Amino acid sequence: MKNQLGKNVLFICYWSWHDGLTRSAAMPHVRVLDENQRINKILLVTIEREHNVDFPIIKKDIGKIAHIPLYPDNFKFNLLTKINDFIRFPKKLVKLVKQYQVDILIAHGAPAGALAYKIWKQTQIPFYVSSFEPHAAYMLESGVWSKSGLKYKFQKHWEQQQKRLAAGLLPVSDHYRQVLEKEGVPPEKLKTVACTTSLHQFNFQLSHRQFIRERLQWQQEVIGIYVGKYGGLYYEQEAFEIYKTCFEQISSFRLLILSPQKQADIEDSLLQHQLDLKMVKVLSVPHEEVPQYLSAADFAFATYKPGPSKQFLSPVKIGEYWATGLPVLLTEGIGDDSDIIEREGGGALFNLGEAGSVEKAIQKIQDIIKQPRHREQIRELAVKYRSQDQIRKAYEYFLGEPEDGE
């Protein structure tokens, strides 16, 4: 049952609860909704590819939030698994909508938005899509999908339906909001919300810096850090070429890689590029521990593959880097962030298609880290552009502000 004032929300996340993106990108939206007095109940749905997984943090209902994991049928061929997702899951989600008297659907990301659209077709319950990006275009440009493939065609179609039928879209960049307006999406249905960062969690701590550096025995070295995966949206072998240039150009350079991918595979790539493993540390750590390592570093890498659709990105890692005061070595043309760096600092841009571009960007990074107050100044970019307050404002715009006494 629900009270007369409160709305029940079904929040769909297409990632696992244990995925770092769920914690860093989706959960801030759930927490803001939890604080909204107009919301009575939040059903948080995550897609769990691994069975028999424990959920220690949200094992029981927390306040208004109830976690409901969905488990797909895993077929031998990934395509069959994905097709089955969009046949079985909408049926299950429609049952939840009826059981819990859901009033509002919120999907995080365009793949989850496809599920929300399918629920809408059966229920007509208004749906919103947060973190709305051209996912099909990303996968096509990155070489993960082909234009003739079913995954691309289905996702492209579902994105078009979301643009037409969603009650509201929350693109992560102003670049994409402008494109959506040109495509005919009414401006009042759009609110830009970048992938935000917990400014409390991601904050430079001298004690963390000293502790991690002592553990690594890199007390005096210049540390560059990369957090994330290789391949897909990200450079793969090219990233290791960039690291090699850093070793050539920066005296006492050391490389720290935090990645969920296999350590052996990353170390193979390092060796292929003649990089000394003694000067590199590859780790896989929980998202909660990432801030400690960012405090220990001096600058960070965000090595995205370029492409026309990449101007619509809002990388979570850039907000986390900035919040910890790290200048970012970033590919040109990435989201609104490349423009911010050009306008206001916070890093250096490179273009692998231009000779000497990487070397020039690395030199700029070295100049930045010599400035005594650069960490405080860079953090202001996170405060200005990645504060979670913009999530609250967006939902107040779409769902209404809590009234006094509610």
Tens digit of each residue's pLDDT (9 = 90 or more) over 52-64: 555 544 444 457 8
Across the strands, what pairs with 281? 256
Instruction: Name residues of the chain where pLDDT drops below 50.
Output: 1-4, 56-61, 404-406
pLDDT at residue 1 in the model: 34
Backbone angles phi, psi at 349, to 5 degrees: -105, 145
The partner residues of 331 in beta bridges, in order of sequence, read 350
Structure tokens at 289: 């521990």
CA gap 192, 171 in Å, rounded: 5
Beta bridge partners, 66, equal 43
3-state class of 182 per DSSP? Answer: helix
Structure pTM? Answer: 0.86
CA 386, CA 200: separation in Å to the nearest integer? 12
Strand order in 168-171's β-sheet?
65-70, 39-47, 7-13, 104-108, 127-132, 168-171
Contact call for residues 239 and 301 (beta carbons, < 8 A): yes
C-alpha distances in Å from residue 282, one per residue of 38, 90, 160, 325: 45, 39, 40, 22
Tell me what pLDDT residue 77 has. 67
Q: Which of 29, 22, 89 is nearest to 57 (CA)?
A: 22
Q: How far is CA 195 from the centre of its chain?
A: 6
- pLDDT number for residue 402: 56
Give yes or no for a contact between 111 and 88, defined as CB atoms under 8 angstroms apart: no
Q: What is the pLDDT of residue 3?
A: 42
What residue type is 349 in one-letter code?
A: L
* Of 5, 98, 23, 70, residue with least CA distance to 399: 5
**For residues 23 and 30, is the Cβ–Cβ distance under 8 A?**
no
Predicted local distance difference test score (pLDDT) of residue 119: 97
Given this model, what pLDDT does residue 57 score?
Answer: 45
CA angle 44, 49, 54 (to 5 degrees): 65
Q: What are 315's two structure tokens? A: 């990388």
Task: Report the alpha-carbon distance of residue 10 to residue 144 in Å, rounded.
Answer: 30
Ranges of H-type helices in 288-401? 290-296, 316-323, 337-344, 357-369, 374-385, 389-399
Q: What is the pLDDT of residues 280-289, one digit of tens each?
A: 999 999 989 9
238 alpha carbon, distance to own chain's centre: 22
Model pLDDT, residue 403: 52
Q: How many CB atoms lie within 10 A of CB 42?
A: 27
